[in-house]
Amino acid sequence: MAVVNTPRPEAVGAKDEYYHALRRPTRSINLRQYVYEIGSYHYNWHPEVELLVVLNGCVEVCAGGLVTTHEPGDVIVINSYVGHATLAHAPHSTALLLHLDLGYFAGLFPDPARLRFDCLSTGETRGAAPFIALRGLLARMMLEAFDATPAGRLRYERRLAELVDTLVTYFPPREEESTAVLGNETRIKAIDRMLGFIDQHYSERITLERLGRESGYHPGYVSQMFTGYLGISTLEYITRVRLRQATRDLGDPQMRVVDVAAANGFPDVKAFNVAFRRSFDKSPTEYRKQLTESSSQVDATFKKVFVRRDDEAATGWLKALADAVDAGAQPTVPAEWPTDDLRSLVGHAQRLTDQIQGVQHRLERLAGGLG
């Protein structure tokens, strides 16, 4: 069992925990790295790219509508603003995580915000050299993060550069079609007001007209602003916010599914079931059956405390991963590794999926408004 500290109100690691934050604006570095126990779903999304390594147990990862199950050693990359959640399938499931601001890629790609990495290991690919290198470098970074000497800081940044080099070399990103709204500060503030409004009123019926009044823009333009700023539709964002709270409420045995749906702005149980299944590939009732006493205990301190550095098991997992790769050597590519043509096909399939989901959301909006 991982050793944790007393909960704190904000997710800032203590000195004796596996938690490291680094901000170097002059070198475009802004990251957080930590080791933590996984509990039940905490649906979220963020602008950073996320690299996750399973250290112990069995973990379900839901990201962008894809649901996969992973074991120790698996590496998963979750792209910027992709809605995602994790669920422990075994007690004391533990992960190593890195959040890296896309500004780090600014000198490498014209528009880092458009980058999408297809990097996810399975039982068949877990032992491939690129995955060994990624998890090994991440583990070394975590172990060496607490050396505050100039040499230690340089070494950490060198590991980071090697990590990104490996990621870009063996998992070259595709670039999504740009939907960015090159708006001025006034537009950005208007979008932030709408996001705040949704966070406060997600349990109510929200229409484009209400958002238009809140932002000062025409309802038709509100939809364009959302797509340009977040890359998802207004309806999709509202649904994400509702699901974020609904997954927490499902952990309360006193609340019926119908109560959870009503409390979080879904017009009825059917709409809640459809939205939940689309994101997590299971019904709310099926998810509730998967919740355990162990996951509930973890939820009480989720990302408020992190695994302590004197935890022998966690340190052993990190050292084993770090020792498995020589950080000074480049991994060789297995013969069965995806070719550029295959990556192109995968990227094309993903774009088609995104387009289909966009059409589906538009049809839902036409059928019943935003909710």
Q: Answer yes or no: are the C-beta atoms of 61 and 280 closer than 8 Å.
A: no
| pLDDT tier at 180, thresholds 50, 70, 90 | very low
- How far apart CA 128 and CA 369 sit, in angstroms, is 47
Mean residue pLDDT across the chain: 83
pLDDT score recorded for residue 151: 96
For residues 54-65, average pLDDT = 89
Write out pLDDT tens, residues 116-175: 999 999 999 999 999 999 999 999 999 999 999 999 999 999 999 999 999 999 999 998
pLDDT digits (tens, 9 = 90+) for 298-355: 555 555 579 999 999 999 999 999 999 864 445 555 545 555 555 555 455 555 555 5
- Same topology for domains 19-176+298-338 and 185-279+355-368, yes or no? no
Cα distance between residue 276 and residue 289, in whole Å: 15
Is residue 5 predicted with pLDDT exceeding 50?
no
* Tokens coding 241: 């916010």
Work out the average pLDDT over 58-71: 87
pTM (whole model) above 0.75 = no
Q: Are 90 and 1 contacting, i.e. CB atoms less than 8 angstroms apart? A: no
Percent of the chain past pLDDT 90, that is, above it, reads 52
pLDDT at 284 over 60: yes
Domain covering 19-176+298-338 in this structure, CATH number: 2.60.120.10
| Residue 3's pLDDT band (cuts 50, 70, 90) | very low
Architecture per CATH, 185-279+355-368 = Orthogonal Bundle (1.10)
In the chain, domain spans = 19-176+298-338, 185-279+355-368
pLDDT digits (tens, 9 = 90+) for 192-211: 889 889 989 999 999 999 99
CA–CA separation, 86 vs 62, rounded Å? Answer: 6
What mean pLDDT comes out for the span 31-35?
Answer: 97
